[in-house]
Amino acid sequence: MKHKLFLFVFLLTALSVINGQASERKKYNFNSEWKLRIGDFPKAKDAKFDDSKWKQVTLPHAFNEDEAFKLSIEQLTDTVVWYRKNFRIPELKSNQKVFVEFEGVRQRGDFYLNGHYLGRHENGVMAVGFDLTPHIKEGENVIAVRTDNDWMYREEGTNSKFQWNDRNFNANYGGIPKNVFLYVTDNVYQTLPLYSNLKTTGVYVYAQDFDIKGRKATIHAESEVRNDSKATRQFSYQVTVLDADGKLMKTFQSDKVTLKAGETKTVKASAILHNLHFWSWGYGYLYTVKTALKDENNQVFDEVSTRTGFRKTRFAEGKIWLNDRVIQMKGYAQRTSNEWPAAGLSVPAWLSDFSNGLMVKGNANLVRWMHVTPWKQDVESCDRVGLIQAMPAGDAEKDREGRQWEQRVELMRDAIIYNRNNPSILFYECGNKAISREHMIEMKAVRDKYDPFGGRAIGSREMLDIREAEYGGEMLYINRSEHHPMWATEYCRDEGLRKYWDEYSYPFHKEGDGPLYKGQPATDYNRNQDELAITMIARWYDYWRERPGTGNRVSSGGTKIIFSDTNTHYRGAENYRRSGVTDAMRIEKDAFYAHQVMWDGWVDTEKDQTYIIGHWNYPENTVKPVQVVSTGEEVELFLNGNSLGKGKRQYNFLFIFDNVVFKPGKLEAVSYNKAGKEISRYAVNTAGEPASLKLTAIQNPEGFHADGADMALIQVEVVDKDGQRCPLDNRTIQFTLKGQAEWRGGIAQGENNHILDTNLPVECGINRALIRSTTTAGKVTLTAQAKGLPTATLALETVPVKVIEGLSTYLPQATLKGRLDRGETPSTPSYKDSKKGVRIVSAKAGCNNNDAEKSYDDIELTEWKNDGKLSTAWITYTLERDAEIDDICIKLQGWRSRSYPLEVYAGNTLIWSGNTDKSLGYIHLDVEKPVRANTITIRLKGNTSDKDAFGQIIEVEAKAANKMELEKSSSRNQLRIIEVEFLETIK
């Protein structure tokens, strides 16, 4: 009887499959075996078109990849290119659907299947999907894509340009530079998150009711399900949560769902999960959430795996909380292209992890992608490495009206739907410059519709005065807030080539030496490594000083522009931008290590470090300054064990030792705390004569794959007999590559920046080059030769990748592990209050008394000013209580260029007198002998003076960072206060 029952159930199940009641979903890597040709070939859409002479490539592959870093951004080729691919789908059933997902094309794409037009995609940024089912065949199929990356492309139907297709900001790597996937599903299925064209929203996973200490939360899953069959279907919705090791955490499901033919419905299920690991900075803990549709026989016929993480956020009081701990933003505004020489953005997923993970290694916690939405590979990479992201939609540097604004709203909508399950995204950026209140409300409504529970703040630059914004971000200046948090979207544009150490060693680059920029001196864009690092310390100090714990109004930090040198918008000697703290091959400049020292903490420093800027190889008796970056209170320098004394402290982190005489050996810096106890040390040693070449392969942790797209990053160093790098060696290395790999090379100063050159100089004793696999597995041998040194050889072997009829189940990004290096969010406070603000209850001024409140209203675009007479240039503030004010934090109009001679009185007692400094926002008037009082008077005692202290630090679209800097004063006796706060030190 049991056997008969089993046979009956088996036959019933088999019959249901035959009748189209259950089909397993499959996701294929669709990157293999494409053919490419530059030019316009209208007949290439036809299935029988002869493409036998076209170049075969594996996607992602920009057709103009060879130009990356060889040409300046505006010179990148923009033309029409066609891609074609033949493929077959095995065992395709009549009840199955077939979809294709393109992560992005540049700029316009027209898509064809077997000669049938599928549609177009024009924004050049976001992913797009197509339903191939109506035109798919059982046998061979041909998909063809015509791309047009014209810089001047205009949208069909509106003749409107896309604002973000801009030669200053958005490197034009054309064609299909991102991944492509193919999906085969049942005709009742969970949709894809591809609103572009398909108008579907996919799966949404989020958490609520967090108990961080108790390690629990309620996990919600929602799936948009569509019935494209001809009959009503009934199913259940099951959710399975697996931890990072694949261990089952919990399974839960919804009630039965009935879906009529042609109907679309969102199904939901939720449950409380315990023993959770919360995603955090440097802790890329990811869960796999499987959402499945099960038929009446309890058989899964559609299942989607979503890799996501859970974290709690809050944005208020000028601060940001992650998992109940305040975090100050410390990171980089990186070009979304995130490009590499001779590859552009089209690199394997593991290399994205290498690059983005290096930011975390340098103690950055945030990457703010610039101008356009990042591609999915970088978004997922940040999830894995534990790097917070700010995700823009699309913009250049201005608000827009009409169709160009509609394009931005549509792109934000599509980007939110596509990326809302990625835990690393904490910010949605609506504009690279301020937008109107009405536009902010419109964008917020988009977020609330498609991602109401994701725990993400939506805002824009310069949004302190618009309360609907949930964060704001200034550029090249600083803001404090006690409402929604403010962090600098980009600061410090200075550029410096990695090749230049200092003025005292080869190639003896004089600080600032280089061509004019727009007819003006460009010293800030031609720095050497030492000065670039020192500038990083000076600029970060401005943000560190205004960190949480320093008053009622605080700064939530900022992102330095940029992380790695980029192929966009240069101002210095080379034709690419060298503002990075690493070069284009991600080799660290000393500025990287300066940040690593200063940024090791959520707010306050949590780990003490010290670093000596530069090297220790100079001509005998060279006399030079030595700079040390340290978290200590004092730093002592030792040369070969002999003390050279303690350094002069500048800012909070920089210590200077003047006139140090070089002697070969060991130079060591020892850092001490306030009690005089050693807390950290760092040493550099004089390298010996060059003795050999050292080759090191940096590669995919899962193996070097023979898919035609994987890469290995090869590092070459000139080292002495002890293996120590020779920091002044710049000799040329001749590389010979044999076997199953293609040379993509590196970058160095010289003709065409040595792009694709197999003769590649080292710079400061090191360089790197990329090699790319072929589609045939096998051995790879790389030989390096240099004059005067023994030959070095490196052997690699690529791993086979199975591709059948154009399809592969190998998904490189799917199995890379999350990095957990920093550990889970600490339960201790991230900062100690050092100052407290004493609130102002009223103010009386020499004139314009009705505007007095504007000098302390927490709105950056308002101010109080007098009428230009010295007799009226005063304002008296009444405090909420008697206080011993010892720090006056003030932002004065024209802060970059104007110095004000001021007197400050507590009651009737003079407590501060002098000329104010110029700054990128705030200055602090430190009171040596505070006097208890409940009134503070600020008075102008003479003429103001103007001279820009930051003249080279300007925006592309404006002459200054903020309109408050542009307005001229009516008199040199005009006092203009934008914002003031009175502080007491907590003892």
The pair of three-digit structure tokens given for residue 986, joined into one six-digit string: 């907590």
Q: How far apart are CA 410 and CA 374, in angstroms?
A: 16
The runs of H, that is alpha helices, within 566-673 are 590-598
The pair of three-digit structure tokens given for residue 76, joined into one six-digit string: 């990148």
* Helices and strands (H, E) in the chain, number of each type: 9, 62
Q: How far apart are CA 427 and CA 476, in angstroms?
A: 19
Q: Are 227 and 259 in contact (CB under 8 A)?
A: yes
Is 462 tagged catalytic? no
Q: What is the DSSP letter of 184?
A: E
Strands across the sheet containing 325-326: 313-316, 319-322, 325-326
Q: Are 936 and 887 in contact (CB under 8 A)?
A: no
- Prior bond to 507 cis, omega within 30? yes
Q: Give the CA distances from residue 889 to residues 219, 266, 330, 922, 926, in Å, rounded to whole numbers and listed in that order.
A: 44, 52, 22, 7, 9
Return the closest-CA partner of residue 859 out of 441, 326, 484, 433.
484
Percent helix, percent strand, percent coil in the chain, to nearest 5: 15, 40, 45
Q: What letters, b where the CB count within 10 A reaches 16 and e where it falls short, cover 269-288?
A: bbeebeebbbbbbbbbbbbb
Using alpha carbons only, what angle is made at residue 223 by residues 219 and 225, rounded to the nearest 5 degrees? 160
Phi, psi of 524 (to 5 degrees): -70, -15
Q: Are 385 and 819 in contact (CB under 8 A)?
A: yes
Q: What is the DSSP letter of 21?
A: S
Q: Which residues pair with 875 in a beta bridge?
A: 845, 938
Q: Other CB atoms closer than 10 Å to residue 848's CB: what's the count?
A: 14
Residue where the block lists tokens 């061509």: 515
In angstroms, what is the C-alpha Rg of the chain? 30
Q: How far apart are CA 395 and CA 409, in angstroms?
A: 11
For residues 432, 434, 439, 445, the Cα torsion angle rounded to the nearest 10 degrees is: 60
Q: Give the CA distances from residue 240 to residues 207, 303, 500, in Å, rounded to whole numbers and listed in that order.
A: 14, 10, 54
Q: How far apart are CA 62 and CA 71, in angstroms?
A: 15
Using alpha carbons only, what angle is made at residue 557 by residues 353 and 165, rounded to the nearest 5 degrees? 60
CA 457 to chain centre: 16
With 0-12 CB in 10 A as exposed, 13-18 as middle and 19+ as buried, what is 517? middle
Q: Give the CA distances from residue 705 to residues 302, 644, 710, 959, in Å, rounded to whole numbers and listed in that order.
A: 30, 53, 6, 49
- Taking the alpha carbons of 861, 867, 872, 873 in that order, is the dihedral positive or negative? positive
Amino acid of residue 163: Q
Q: How far apart are CA 522 and CA 536, in angstroms?
A: 17
Q: How far apart are CA 595 and CA 363, in angstroms?
A: 7
Return the closest-CA partner of residue 288 out of 327, 242, 323, 333.
242
Q: Other CB atoms closer than 10 Å to residue 259's CB: what's the count?
A: 20
Q: Are 916 and 900 in contact (CB under 8 A)?
A: yes
Q: Which residues pair with 646 in a beta bridge?
A: 636
Candidate list 490, 763, 965, 979, residue with the active-site label? 490
Q: Which residues pair with 799 in a beta bridge?
A: 705
Catalytic residue annotation: 490
